Structure 1
Amino acid sequence: MDNSADLSTLEWSTPRPAAFTLAAGGLILLVAAVLTASDPVGVVLMGFAALLLLGFAGYALWIRPRLAATTDDPQPAITVRTLSGTHTYPRDRIDRIRLIDFRRIGRRTGQLEFDVLRDDAPSTAPADGLREDTRLVVFSRWDLGADLGDVADDLRRAGFVVEDQRK
């Protein structure tokens, strides 16, 4: 058995079973909307909910991998995939990576935030240290399909500096 894998690229995305579950839920709602055709308001609401679930499932399956870290180049880089395309940021174009958590509706939720420099931004920070030429990219556990602490540890091992601001 060959266990040699390419460890130069780490990838994270929404788990496929979760996306398929969303699609199944959307199809069930579509069938329910057809079966309740005598209730026009119900048909509209269930049809709209079904389309939202199917759209979200399609998004989760289309945008893969959501985040990738490449370590085989002379300089580590992250690649972020969005609807508008794939964006690659070498380590010197990443201003800050933060792991944060906060309370939302009675429970703690986490986020992994990347402040990346825009293409036309200079690499050096202004004298006051405050940058206004960055782009914020935020990931949740749903986006990456993994524990955010584990993702942060993998990014650190890949050569990135990750601030842990969890409480």
Structure 2
Amino acid sequence: MDNSADPSTHAWSTPVGAGIAGCIGGVILLGGAVVVSNDPAGSVLMGIAGVLLVALGVYTLLVRPRLELSAGRPATLTVRGLTGRRSYTPDRVERIRLLSMRRVGRRVGQLEIDVLDDDADTFRRDDGSAGPRADTRLLVFSRWDLGTDLMSVVDALRAAGFHVDDDR
């Protein structure tokens, strides 16, 4: 969901409602684990599922926005994770790819971003070999992570000056 006020800044993250629903569902599963306490195996499985669902809900609520684009000069791509924020300029982004794959009878997309490590040189490889360099980190985002259609994210990245390979 692009929830930015400044038109030169875009921010995408999982919808808040999905995080809240995950937390509520996890609490319901934990309550169900207590109710079925006469079935130890079922109680343990429901308890584990409840804890994991609450953790996923809390994660989606804490890590916001997941991806942010500031279209200044130079454009900056900021990724937020549990360990904090990391920002990348176009010279630190090795490759951006939009992939489309078949999963369970339907097509799903993934946005892959190869970024250079903080200590890596920003020189571009001229040897003609395919694929990313060895000193890159792979960041993978799905529609769930960004809360919107991946094509709108790709369009915003292209408009900001990032090159995107489209594999559809």
Amino acid at match of 2:161: G
Give CA deviations for 1:40-91 in whole Å, capped at 9, x if unaligned. Answer: 111101000000100000110010000000113x200100001121110011
Is 1:19 matched up with 2:40? no
Partners of 1:92 and 1:126 lie apart in 2 by 12
1:91 maps to 90
1:144 maps to 146
Pick which of 75-84 and 156-165 moved more: 156-165
Give CA deviations for 1:15-43 in whole Å, capped at 9, x if unaligned. Answer: 01111111111111111111111111111
Amino acid at match of 2:123: T
User: Secondary structure of 2:113's partner?
Assistant: strand
Partners of 1:125 and 1:155 lie apart in 2 by 20
1:52 maps to 52
User: Secondary structure of 1:113's partner?
Assistant: strand
Amino acid at match of 2:61: L
Is 1:154 matched up with 2:153? no
Give CA deviations for 1:79-120 in whole Å, capped at 9, x if unaligned. Answer: 000112111001111111111111223321110111111112
Query: What displacement does 1:147 show?
Result: 0.3
2:135 maps to 133
Partners of 2:124 and 2:117 lie apart in 1 by 13
Query: What displacement does 1:8 show?
Result: 2.2
Task: Determine what percentage of the aligned residue pairs are the same residue.
Answer: 53
TM-score, scaled relative to structure 2 = 0.91
TM-score, scaled relative to structure 1 = 0.91
Amino acid at match of 1:52: L
Pick which of 25-34 and 102-111 moved more: 102-111
Query: What displacement does 1:9 show?
Result: 1.4
Note the residue ranges of structure 2 that are not aligned, 5 or more in a row: none
Moved over 6 A (4+): none
Amino acid at match of 1:20: I
Partners of 1:126 and 1:156 lie apart in 2 by 22
Partners of 1:108 and 1:6 lie apart in 2 by 32
Amino acid at match of 1:149: M
Amino acid at match of 1:100: L
User: Secondary structure of 2:7's partner?
Assistant: coil
How many residues matched? 161
Partners of 2:108 and 2:157 lie apart in 1 by 20
